[in-house]
Amino acid sequence: MTQHDESFLADWQIQGTFGAVAGTHGVDREAATEADGEQRRWFAELLESHGFTVQRDAIGNQFGLLELVPGAPYVLTGSHLDSQPTAGRFDGAYGVMASAYACFRVAEELRADPASARFNLAIVNWFNEEGSRFKPSMMGSGVFTGKLALQEALATEDRDGVTVAEALAALGERGDFAGLEVASYAEIHVQQGRSMEQDGVTIGLVDATWAAHKFEFKITGEQAHSGSTLMSDRRDALLGLRDSSSPCASSSTNLKRECCTRPVERSTSTPTLPWWLPAR
């Protein structure tokens, strides 16, 4: 292995300690939590140690910048460091770390031969790409590309009523960086399935991605006693949830089963008592 390889693996091991879940190989570092803040501070130090300038924009995207050609646009590469609760440690984080080390190597080459530089280099850690704490997902990249309004994103609340603006401010991760001109963008990502492994493919080029439609439903039943209510009289809201969330049900039946899923992210019922059928 080269020195770069050894350094990457050493830093990868350190990065995986932030939000590590005991007894597993996974991590829990949802966006703008303390674990996310700790890894962001560590990552900023890593970037600065390799001569990159760290900037944060108003939605908390974290950039490492290296200006080689004043006034030229940037080749941007990266992914996200935030995770789902108890998520895999490769999701997103590998893309950020691999991008950082790719840029470190290219920077060395261009510093040795400045005349060959055509663009500047930038590494990005997108904020709240997962969307598990704040919805929607891809929030930081959505604001950066103009697909999501900044003020709308900053006002988004988590389940405890904490806004994005408040969470970022508490960590000191909300900046005023105005953005950059991008010449090209690249992102490497671990596959979150096993089809490539089954097919013996080591690396692939993405030419399509899944489309997600997200909805909130309220299913109304009728509150009743779980023991004495006749089966014919029951209007169990949870039974309605089960039927409506079956994969490829109703309008989806004309699609291939492998192409259609209907996962339920979160469900709540009222009342939540063992002897009552839920009304909602």
Residue-level pLDDT at 255: 55
Is the dihedral angle over the CA atoms 232, 238, 240, 242 positive or is it negative? negative
pTM of structure: 0.85
Please count the CA atoms within 13 angstroms of the CA of 245 that sit on its side-chain side. 17
Report how far residue 58's alpha carbon sits from residue 169's, in angstroms, rounded to the nearest whole number: 10
Task: Go through the domains of the chain in sequence order and give each one's CATH number.
Answer: 3-199 (3.40.630.10), 224-277 (no CATH)
Which residues, other chains included, contact 189 with Cβ-Cβ below 8 Å and sequence gap of 6+? 79, 91, 92, 94, 95
Long-range CB contacts for residues 37-40, cutoff 8 Å, separation at least 24: 37/171, 37/172, 37/173, 39/15, 39/81, 40/81, 40/125, 40/171, 40/173
Report how far residue 171's alpha carbon sits from residue 193's, in angstroms, rounded to the nearest whole number: 33
Residue-level pLDDT at 246: 62
Q: Smallest Cα–Cα separation from 129: which of 117, 143, 118?
A: 143
Q: What is the pLDDT along the chain (280 residues), one digit of tens a residue?
A: 888 899 999 999 999 999 999 999 899 999 999 999 999 999 999 999 999 999 999 999 999 999 999 999 999 999 999 999 988 899 999 999 999 999 999 999 999 999 999 999 999 999 999 999 999 999 999 999 999 999 999 999 999 999 999 999 999 999 999 999 999 999 999 887 888 899 999 998 888 777 777 777 788 888 888 788 888 888 888 777 777 766 555 554 555 555 666 677 777 888 877 777 888 8
- DSSP states along 231-263: GGG-B-HHHHHHHHTSTT-GGGTTS-GGG----
Report how far residue 237's alpha carbon sits from residue 179's, in angstroms, rounded to the nearest whole number: 48
Residues 269/280, Cβ–Cβ less than 8 Å: yes
Residue-level pLDDT at 279: 80
Q: How far is CA 269 from CA 2, 35, 159, in A?
A: 56, 31, 16
